Chain A
Amino acid sequence: MTQQAQDQSPVGETPLGVEIRGVTKRFPGVIANHDVNISIRPATVHALIGENGAGKSTLMKILYGVQKADEGTIEINGQPVHFGSPSDAIKAGIGMVFQHFMLADNLTVLENVTLGAEKLFGIGDAARREIIRISDAYGFGLDPDVLLEDLGVGARQRVEILKVLYRGARFIILDEPTAVLVPQEVDALFENLRELRASGHTLLFISHKLDEVRAIADDITVMRRGTTVGEADPKTVTKKQLAELMVGSELPSPQTEESTVTDQVMLDMQGITLVDSRGRELLSNINLRIHKGEVLGIAGVEGNGQAELVESIMGMRDASGTITLGGKDIAEWGTRERREAGIGFIPEDRHHHGLLLDAPLWENRILGHQTLPPSSKGGLIDRAGAKADTERIVRDYDVRTPTIFTHARALSGGNQQKLIVGREMSGDPVLLIAAHPTRGVDVGAQAAIWDHIKRARREGLAVLLISADLDELIGLSDRIEVILRGQLVGEFDPQTATPQDLGAAMTGGKDSAA
């Protein structure tokens, strides 16, 4: 296979090496990148790691021509390049595979691949042949005439990669490619990447998953707060060293507080199963118990059933099985009744599920609680009550806003999230469902939100915490369960579990090196 791939490699074209020197980029109010220096050797897999907000996305956009750097140079094989648009980057041989796929479900693979590049091979049989050629060369297994919506996530990603290869990319940037993949798909992807490297392509792999990075990368560069802070050799560096480079200091160790877990069960789910319209099981026989004063953390790769679990508890989806809240059977209850019974919900996607962006903050305070005081009295909305309580939340949760009449849209993500946390923790909930509660939130706000959750836990709140941030899970949870493909596959004690153990369970029990 490798021999065949080498025969297919761009004949006579040398692999691309990229030098990034001193790149700086400013936006109003924030410096996204400053003094970024990276050397990417030709025909290697180079990993760029860093936390959310480290500046990786901005750098990528500069490399791909979506943004222009304010300072610094980019050289490809020694020649300086300036990109005014993605087309310039594409012409120079750069291709980008976005984290959020840019694919049209109702179009075929062929149509998605040829869109915008119809001049290369047309949109008929010649294009079809080229797609099959690339697919066979790297083992993608893609049929040009299949509709995108019939493809799973792993196959869609391969379509994205095929898109860039079709346009002659020799330097491929992959943005968090494994974020939505299950373990087998990750393995398959890495196989593909190795094939690509063997045939002379250069790959820039952006991630914050340390295990994977060590498994596939030839070189590692670490970014933090907008700049490059170090390089590492994947063969010798340890995860702890990498993590410390990323975070900048010692990892937070789980604080040993006194346990507040009581023996009263608040949420009890037995045999919960959810089947989608095609008959696939999104949740399989989930058995879950959360006690008063307990934080149960759910760890797992995104897309393994977390969203479905949350929606089932909230009554937004119809699952089979039994579910009780404080002893009462709530299986037949709608979302409103469950909320009135005291379930608070911090949604994963705040814009989608948590806010009315074009409404003032005090009306957003009412959202989700419109049948409860202080927002409502009788069948009416208590405007004075809602406004007063919004002032309180703004104070207690440090929501930065000029007034409570500001539209939610104008607030930053972090402040929006603080408002939502404040809202959901008001009214003495008995169960709080927190899905990625500190996503997109700055470090200070994150610590504040954690403190609020811990305080409420001391007062007897039961919390279901879903997060992709292992530090958050370990730091907050009393117990951790791992979800994989809709099933709970393992329980861990945060005091003793290591990120390796959790990572292994989340990815299906595969062993990771050292």
Chain B
Amino acid sequence: MSTTTATASVSTSTGNSRALRYLLLVAVVVGVISMVRVLTGAHEITSSGSLRAALSATVPILMAALGGLWSERAGVVNIGLEGQMLLGTWGAAFGAYHLGPYQGILLGIAFGALGGLLHALATVTFGVDHIVSGVALNVIALGLTTFLAEAFFTNLNSQFGRGGPRQLTGLQNPDMITIPGISDAAVWLNNTHWFLLGDLGGLVAALTTRISVITVVAFALVVLTAWVLWRTTFGLRLRSCGENPQAAESLGVNVIRHKYAAVVASGAFAGLGGAYLALVSSPGFVVNQTGGRGYIGLAAMIFGNWRPAGVLMGSGLFGYTDSLRLRDPSTVHALLLLLAIGLGALAIMRVRKGQMRAGLIIGAFAALFVLWFALTDSVPREFTSMTPYVLTLLVLAFASQRLRMPKADGQIYRKGSAG
């Protein structure tokens, strides 16, 4: 009975065709964006400045999302990412002032990891509900960082930074990298505003001009995550804890240890995101500066279907919308048209699948956005700051069907529940 070879070839060919379809989708999306840019003349949509700001906003969200992925792949929901990121901001600021920017990064990671350890203790050892533990942790982290800021930053004043009861600015930043030749060429290409090439130029410019060391590390961590979780023994065992911990236990996997490792790593990632916030993307540490990025990171993780590549895309999307707050209102205005087109396409897809009611509702929204675009020429600033949150809701509402959450995610695990 050698159906094995036949089925094997079928599965790889579906894998290939799936990757191909992904690429095609990305190409179409990029093409549409470029077209809207050329038509509306809002070249800021993909200018190198915009994309740099988007990249800067992406990194903390990406770190939170990766952290969430590590934790949930092992079956633990980590709502406390927000708090762990906060701890990271304080730790990084403290370390950067007293020791140096790179020590600051390490200390930020350590503080975040500590928060993760507390969450692991509560959920894995004591069987506390994951959401409850995360919410409590966020309260503790906010109180702790606020208190520690006032206790340790108030009287600081030197060439390493200027402190106050609620902030610590003027810190030394980690290095930035610029690739001279490519960067200049890309900026030039971007300024030509050509269809597709101009956008490409903007993207390359953003990636090669004054890009922080942490950003490079962040992208490397995405690749590392994919490799560790899918190509190593440790990663397989970790994922099994999130899929069927009883089965893993029956095969000799130490479920508790892997869950701990995953949640501590999760906190460490969030801490790194916090370090980035304090040392790179903001003028310095400010109390409560995470602004919900921990939660947006979780949304990016869900959007990315708990896979590193998807998480990267989701974080990029949310990062871009987060950076819109700082953009010219007319740029945002042009994006209304883009949104309308996207919704229109979605509506058509639903109608073709026979889901008339869903298609009509989405189509109505598309029409509304077209009207909004036509009747106004700018979007109020408050609305742009709402975009990441609204987008999160929309994405979660419409993309939930193809999602595959780790099967035992959120379950309270008790040792010995096997067999």
Indicate yes or no for A touching B, C-beta below 8 A.
Answer: yes
Interface residues of A (CB under 8 A from B): 61, 66, 86-87, 98, 101-107, 111-112, 114-119, 123-124, 132, 135-136, 139-146, 163
Q: Please name the 9 residue pairs, one residue from A and one from B, whose CB atoms are nearest each other, closest first.
A: A116-B251, A102-B247, A104-B243, A118-B233, A143-B7, A104-B244, A116-B252, A139-B1, A102-B250
Shortest distance between the CB of B234 and any CB in chain A (Å):
9
Shortest distance between the CB of A57 and any CB in chain B (Å):
9
> Is B237 part of the binding interface, using a Cβ–Cβ cutoff of 8 Å?
yes
Is the CB–CB distance between A106 and B250 below 8 Å?
no
> Is B246 part of the binding interface, using a Cβ–Cβ cutoff of 8 Å?
yes
Per the bound structure, the CA–CA distance linking A104 and B252 in Å amounts to 15
The 8 Å CB contact of B252, one of A87, A103, A132, is A87
Is the CB–CB distance between A146 and B251 below 8 Å?
no
Tell me the dominant secondary structure on chain A's binding face: loop
Shortest distance between the CB of A263 and any CB in chain B (Å):
46
Given A115-B251, A116-B252, A123-B233, A106-B407 contact (CB < 8 Å): yes
Which residue from chain A places its CB closest to the CB of B245 in the assembled complex? A104
Shortest distance between the CB of A110 and any CB in chain B (Å):
10
- Contact digits for B380-419, partner A, Cβ 8 Å, 1 yes 0 no: 0000000000000000000000001011000000000011
Is the CB–CB distance between A98 and B243 below 8 Å?
no
| A111 partner residues in chain B, CB cutoff 8 A | 236, 239-240
| A163 partner residues in chain B, CB cutoff 8 A | 251
Given A106-B406, A116-B237, A141-B3, A146-B248 contact (CB < 8 Å): no
Per the bound structure, the CA–CA distance linking A88 and B170 in Å amounts to 61
Number of B interface residues, CB 8 Å?
A: 29
Is the CB–CB distance between B419 and A66 below 8 Å?
yes
Residues 102-145 (chain B) with a chain A CB within 8 angstroms: none
> Is B8 part of the binding interface, using a Cβ–Cβ cutoff of 8 Å?
yes
Which residue from chain B places its CB closest to the CB of A57 in the assembled complex? B419
| B418 partner residues in chain A, CB cutoff 8 A | 102
Which residue from chain B places its CB closest to the CB of A132 in the assembled complex? B4
| A119 partner residues in chain B, CB cutoff 8 A | 233
Tell me the dominant secondary structure on chain B's binding face: helix
| B251 partner residues in chain A, CB cutoff 8 A | 102, 115-117, 163
> Is B253 part of the binding interface, using a Cβ–Cβ cutoff of 8 Å?
yes
Point out which of B3, B236, B406 has the most chain A C-beta atoms below 10 A from its C-beta: B236
Per the bound structure, the CA–CA distance linking A143 and B231 in Å amounts to 19
Shortest distance between the CB of B269 and any CB in chain A (Å):
22
Is the CB–CB distance between A123 and B248 below 8 Å?
no
| A124 partner residues in chain B, CB cutoff 8 A | 231
Can you report 28 residue pairs joining A to B where beta carbons are below 8 Å apart? A102-B247, A102-B250, A104-B243, A104-B244, A106-B407, A107-B236, A107-B243, A111-B239, A115-B237, A115-B247, A115-B248, A116-B237, A116-B252, A118-B233, A118-B237, A119-B233, A123-B231, A123-B232, A123-B236, A135-B4, A136-B1, A136-B2, A140-B1, A141-B2, A141-B3, A143-B8, A143-B11, A144-B8
Is the CB–CB distance between B240 and A104 below 8 Å?
yes
Per the bound structure, the CA–CA distance linking A139 and B233 in Å amounts to 28
Per the bound structure, the CA–CA distance linking A104 and B418 in Å amounts to 13
Shortest distance between the CB of A500 and any CB in chain B (Å):
32
| A104 partner residues in chain B, CB cutoff 8 A | 240, 243-244, 247-248, 407
| B4 partner residues in chain A, CB cutoff 8 A | 132, 135-136, 141-143
Residues 1-54 (chain B) with a chain A CB within 8 angstroms: 1-4, 7-8, 11-12
Shortest distance between the CB of A393 and any CB in chain B (Å):
31
Is the CB–CB distance between A141 and B1 below 8 Å?
yes
| A107 partner residues in chain B, CB cutoff 8 A | 236, 239-240, 243
| A66 partner residues in chain B, CB cutoff 8 A | 419
Per the bound structure, the CA–CA distance linking A116 and B250 in Å amounts to 9
Shortest distance between the CB of A9 and any CB in chain B (Å):
19
Is the CB–CB distance between B11 and A146 below 8 Å?
yes
Shortest distance between the CB of A148 and any CB in chain B (Å):
9
Shortest distance between the CB of B418 and any CB in chain A (Å):
7
